[in-house]
Amino acid sequence: MASATDHDEVLRLVVERTCELTRADACLVLLSVDARGVRVAAAAGEGTEAARELRLPLDEELGAGLRRVLGFGGSDAFFGVPIVGSAGLVGVLAVLRRDPGGDDCPEDEQLLAVLADQAAIALENADRLRRLEAAFEAVHAERRVLSQVMEAAPVALMLVEGDEARISYANRRALELFPGADDLSLETWTTRRDAGAGCERSPVRRALVFGEQVRGVEVVRGQADGTERHFEVDAAPLSPGEGGRRRAVIAVQDTSLREQFRREREHAGALAEENRVKDLFFNTLSHELRSPLAAIRNAVEL
């Protein structure tokens, strides 16, 4: 029983071993439903099929009720001992024997008490393991959901570690933006405003090394083909990992299209201003040309 980890398996072993050791004709484990009642949680032996999930009041008539349900006579022996756990009463371990000698058998009661104590320990261990397994499953379920959310996120998410900022996790979008990368090459992650100031101003280093919260930093990163890509970076430090290694989470959005649209708007605005100046010039020139022509026309008419 001590090695069993499943609650139902523990109950089955309890009734089977109790029947065997006490030479009983029927054995039952009745678990507490409330302060006044119990239910048959496991049973073995003669007539016990009729008692499955039976509910009975927890009083002095318990033995009589079990005799009646199982088909035993009033003179047959009945023994019942409490199963007491660390939190109080768990239930009752009961045996019935077709024995005209009655209920008075101290040796059987002592053996039954020992078995009840062992059953209490085994049931508590099984319940504890069941709670742990449920907790682990809940944690794993949350992790699965979190993993799905991170993989489906439209922004690049990365976990970086160590002074070299090695990537220990990257979601799908991050792998699309940085294929084959295993570090973030800190020296190339400089802000547009601080370009040329060195990697000390890198938002990744600020979070990873200096423990800063970084929000909405615009970054320009050179590409192998000589072009530039524009990103917006959020970064936050995390608690140290194994061996005290620094860790940070990095969120990156590719803003190259937004930067392109910004430049196109600026260019369009510059063209519009240039056209406005041209229109103003031609309007002014036209006015100045019309003025002397009007004087000449008037003189000719005179």
Residue 251 has a pLDDT of: 92
Q: Please tell me whether residues 30 and 135 are part of one structural domain.
A: yes
In this structure, are 229 and 282 located in the same domain? no
Residue 196 lies in a domain: yes
Number of compact structural domains in the chain: 3
Query: What burial class does residue 65 get, using C-beta atoms within 10 Å of its C-beta: 0-12 exposed, 13-18 middle, 19+ buried?
Result: middle
C-alpha to C-alpha distance for 62 and 80, rounded to whole angstroms: 9
Checking if the pLDDT of 96 tops 70, the result is yes
Output the pLDDT for position 195: 43
Q: Which amino acid is at 292?
A: P
Give Cβ neighbours of residue 217 (< 8 Å, ≥ 6 apart): 191, 203, 232, 233, 234, 235
Kindly state whether residues 134 and 197 are assigned to the same domain.
no
Instruction: State pTM to two decimals.
Output: 0.55
* Confidence check: pLDDT of 138 > 90: yes
**Among residues 113, 144, 175, which one ends one of the domains?**
144
User: Residues 79, 101: one domain?
Assistant: yes
Is residue 81 one of the residues assigned to a domain? yes
**Do 175 and 232 belong together in one domain?**
yes
Percent of the chain with pLDDT over 70: 77
Q: Per-residue pLDDT for 135 more than 60?
A: yes
Who has greater pLDDT, 237 or 32?
A: 237
- Is it the case that residue 127 has pLDDT exceeding 50? yes
pLDDT tens by residue, 14-70: 888 888 888 888 888 888 877 678 888 888 887 777 777 777 777 767 777 777 777
pLDDT digits (tens, 9 = 90+) for 200-224: 467 888 888 888 898 988 888 776 7
Name the percent of the chain lying above pLDDT 90: 9
- Examine residue 194 and state whether it is found in any structural domain, yes or no: yes
* Residue pair 96/78 in contact by the 8 Å Cβ criterion: yes
Q: Report d(CA 239, CA 200) in Å as an integer.
A: 21
Q: Based on the fold, state whether residues 164 and 210 are members of the same structural domain.
A: yes
More confident residue, 153 or 221: 153
Handedness of CA 295, 296, 299, 300 (dihedral sign): negative
Give 73 or 2, the one with higher predicted confidence. 73
> Does 90 score more than 60 pLDDT?
yes
Average pLDDT over residues 246-269: 80
Whether 274 and 250 share a structural domain = no
Q: What is the CA radius of gyration of the chain?
A: 42
Instruction: From 144, 177, 196, give the residue that closes a domain.
Output: 144
263 is a domain residue: no
Quickly state the pLDDT bin for 196 (edges 50, 70, 90): very low
Here the CATH number for the domain that contains residue 177 is: 3.30.450.20
> Does one domain contain both 35 and 134?
yes
Asked if 174 and 198 sit in the same domain, the reply is yes
Residue 4 confidence (pLDDT): 66
The pLDDT, as a whole number, for residue 6 is: 79
pLDDT at 194: 46
Q: 300: domain range?
A: 268-302
**Domain shared by 14 and 100, yes or no:** yes
Distance of CA 213 to the CA centre of its chain: 24
**CA-to-CA distance for 156 and 205, rounded, in angstroms?**
17
Report the CATH number that the domain containing residue 52 is assigned in CATH.
3.30.450.40
* 223 in a structural domain: yes
Within a domain: 85 = yes
The domain boundary, picked from 112, 144, 176, lies at 144
What is the pLDDT averaged over residues 108-131?
86
Kindly state whether residues 77 and 201 are assigned to the same domain.
no
- Is 261 within the bounds of a domain? no
Does 55 lie in the same domain as 15? yes
| Pick from 76-80, 153-157, 196-200, 275-279: least confident | 196-200
Judge whether 214 lies within some domain.
Answer: yes
How far apart, in whole angstroms, are the C-alpha atoms of residue 249 and residue 156? 10
Looking up tokens 């449920």 gives: 134
